[in-house]
Amino acid sequence: MYVIRLLQLIDKGLKSKALKKTIVYRVISMVVEFLLSYIIIQKLIDSLLLIVTILLVNSIIYYSFEKLWK
């Protein structure tokens, strides 16, 4: 239910189709990553910490890549 509501808010608020698709993809991939880590680790807090760490590292890598590309 929350995902459907999020998708509706994204659809109303953003005009760029590519940006919408990017956000939706990241949300879905983070949910899948969390579920997989929870299945493997079986600890909620550790799984959440792993997902937050992955998000931060991926953001830093992406930002660095963008800066180097220019």
Beta strand residue intervals within the chain, DSSP E: none
pLDDT above 70 (res 67): yes
Three-class secondary structure of residue 28 per DSSP: helix
pLDDT band at 68; cut points 50, 70, 90: confident
User: Cα 18 to chain center, whole Å?
Assistant: 15
Q: Give 1-47 pLDDT, tens digit per residue.
A: 666 776 677 667 766 777 777 778 888 888 999 999 999 999 999 99
Domain coordinates of the chain in residue numbers?
A: 2-69
